[in-house]
A and B are shown apart, each in its own frame.
Chain A
Amino acid sequence: MKKILLLCLATTFFISCKNAEPRYFSSSPEIDVAKAHIKAYNEGDWTTWTSHYADTAKLSHNTLEESSPAEVLEALKDLLAGTSSYGFTDKDIFYEMVIDDDNEKWVNFWGTWEGTLAANNQKLIIPVHLTVQYVDGKMVEEHAYYDLSEYMAILLEIEAEMIVEEEVMEE
């Protein structure tokens, strides 16, 4: 009887263990998509970049407002237009996937964006965090966190210089 009890106990643990599916991953098909997504961004391959999103994907970069991938792409292109080179470096780059309490798959990304501003060759380094929900291998929700203050400050500086130059020319 005791033996049966113990067997049951062992089985129960085994089953409960089976139920405790892993919820943290440092590699997964979704992480592979995330890596391909970063690669497409680095290469400016916007067709591939767009293909990773579901049609109804909602993106929020540094805001609570939601935008479509096409809207965010426009904004990214605007930001990148002022750079002579840009991309995520291989240093300080981390990917992970978790399955949260609502059984949603989220890929978290931490990376280092490096770019050079065309106007004055100034190099910019911006740490970036993305947290992205995947459904059926597609990105459906993306939240991005990165500091644009340095970038904005440089743009303002350049603008101010241009105004001074214009004034000098007018004189």
Chain B
Amino acid sequence: MKKIFLIGLAATLFIACEQKAERYSTSGPEVDLVKGLLADYENGDWASWQEKYADTAKVYYNQWDNSETVAESMEGHKQNIALLSSYKFADDVIYEKIISDSGNTWINFWGRWQGTLKENNKVVVLPVHLSVRVLDGKVVQENGFWDNSIMQTALQEIEEMKNAPELEKTIIANQDKLVKAWNNNDADAFMEVSAANVIRNSNGTRQANNQSEYTDMMKQFHTGFPDFKVSLDSYFLKAGKSYLNWTCTGTNTGPFMDNPPTGKKMEIHGYSVWAFDTNGLAVQEDAFFDNMGMLSQLGYTLSPPLDK
């Protein structure tokens, strides 16, 4: 009898314990479901995406009162995605599962959405929060919170550019081609949109005096960082010059500036002023960035000067 009592006690405590612990967790089938939902969204696998919702699911994006159906939400996503050349959530996302006081299971998600606009290659970054209620393995409600005005402003810029005079349009188009040439290490593409005697100054020091010196420098980056990528974060044009912020990323798996590969990743943010001629060809770049910061990320250290 006592034995049964003890077993009963242990079982009760175990169950009570389990229930208590389960109100918050960061894993489990419901979390996996929402992870799958976002993976489907990123892969554009709408059939699989739609399957994860209950038929009667309600979707609320930036509002409480008027819900959308899953089909309507999908249409909205597709329309937005049509404007983009790529989109994804950055890797540093957070998921949590909670059970509310009313016993409902919610998956909360915090992430950083990033999309590149087709028209001008501009990268738009949106912090996003989703709160998703899951019941019997399906999403029954989704609430999304993010600032749409960021995207609207970016789209307005495109509209303004469309109304820009011819030369500005050419400069914008050529600027995009320069970014593509950098990303693809494409010397021919670079030469198409630059003047023969194109100049590059890095932090005030002359680095290239012509197309071949410029493309050699591009090649040097791609040799050191085979996955080298540059994105245009923002820019504005004035009097034939583009003032632009950029971000470079890459993994140093090849020799760089006569140094062996470090295997380390780098991400640097820089600023360039590009000057264009009256035909819209690039004639000069003045680039500014934290060279020491880049080298530090690769593991290089600065030594104090030696004593005399």
Binding site for B on A (CB under 8 A): 2-3, 6-7, 9-10, 13-14, 16-17, 20, 22-24, 26, 60, 62-64, 91-92, 96, 98-101, 108, 110, 112, 125-129, 131, 143, 145-149, 151-153
Q: How far is the CA of A149 from the CA of B62 in the complex (A)?
A: 10
Q: Is the CB of B13 within 8 A of A10?
A: yes
Q: How far is the CA of A39 from the CA of B260 in the complex (A)?
A: 59
A25 to chain B, nearest CB (A): 9
Query: DSSP majority for the B interface?
Result: mixed
Q: Is the CB of B145 within 8 A of A129?
A: yes
Known: A64-B112, A98-B96, A146-B62. 13 other contacts (CB 8 A): A2-B3, A3-B2, A6-B3, A23-B23, A24-B98, A60-B127, A64-B127, A92-B64, A101-B26, A129-B131, A143-B127, A147-B146, A147-B148
Q: Is the CB of B64 within 8 A of A148?
A: no
The one of B17, B64, B100 in contact with A16, judged by C-beta atoms closer than 8 angstroms, is B17
The one of B99, B129, B146 in contact with A131, judged by C-beta atoms closer than 8 angstroms, is B129
A97 to chain B, nearest CB (A): 10
Across the interface, which residues of B come within 8 angstroms of A147, CB to CB?
Answer: 62, 145-149
Query: DSSP majority for the A interface?
Result: mixed
Q: How far is the CA of A36 from the CA of B100 in the complex (A)?
A: 22
Q: Is the CB of B17 within 8 A of A9?
A: no
Across the interface, which residues of B come within 8 angstroms of A153, CB to CB?
Answer: 152
Q: Is the CB of A96 within 8 A of B110?
A: no
Q: How far is the CA of A146 from the CA of B14 in the complex (A)?
A: 41
A142 to chain B, nearest CB (A): 12
The one of B7, B23, B26, B153 in contact with A6, judged by C-beta atoms closer than 8 angstroms, is B7
Interface string of B101-137 (1 = CB under 8 A from A): 1000000101010000000000001111101000000
Q: Is the CB of A108 within 8 A of B108?
A: yes
The one of B2, B24, B63, B152 in contact with A127, judged by C-beta atoms closer than 8 angstroms, is B63
A128-B145, A145-B145, A152-B149 given as contacts; is B24 within 8 A of A23 (CB)?
Answer: yes
Across the interface, which residues of A come within 8 angstroms of B101, CB to CB?
Answer: 26
Q: Is the CB of B98 within 8 A of A149?
A: no
Q: Can you show 18 pairs from A to B with CB atoms below 8 A apart?
A: A3-B6, A6-B10, A7-B6, A9-B10, A17-B20, A20-B21, A23-B25, A24-B98, A63-B127, A64-B112, A99-B24, A108-B108, A127-B145, A131-B110, A145-B147, A147-B146, A152-B152, A152-B153
The answer to whether B83 has its CB under 8 Å from any CB of chain A is: no
Across the interface, which residues of A come within 8 angstroms of B62, CB to CB?
Answer: 126-127, 146-147, 149
The one of A7, A127, A145 in contact with B128, judged by C-beta atoms closer than 8 angstroms, is A145
A6-B7, A10-B13, A62-B146 given as contacts; is B98 within 8 A of A145 (CB)?
Answer: no
Tell me the nearest residue of chain B to A101, going by C-beta: B26
B133 to chain A, nearest CB (A): 12
**Pairs of residues from A and B, 4 with the lowest C-beta to C-beta distance, nearest first:** A17-B17, A24-B23, A23-B24, A62-B147
A24 to chain B, nearest CB (A): 4
Q: How far is the CA of A131 from the CA of B127 in the complex (A)?
A: 12
The answer to whether B71 has its CB under 8 Å from any CB of chain A is: no
Q: Is the CB of A146 within 8 A of B24?
A: no
Q: How far is the CA of A111 from the CA of B98 in the complex (A)?
A: 18
Across the interface, which residues of A come within 8 angstroms of B125, CB to CB?
Answer: 64
Tell me the nearest residue of chain B to A16, going by C-beta: B17
Q: How far is the CA of A18 from the CA of B17 in the complex (A)?
A: 8
Q: How far is the CA of A63 from the CA of B110 in the complex (A)?
A: 12
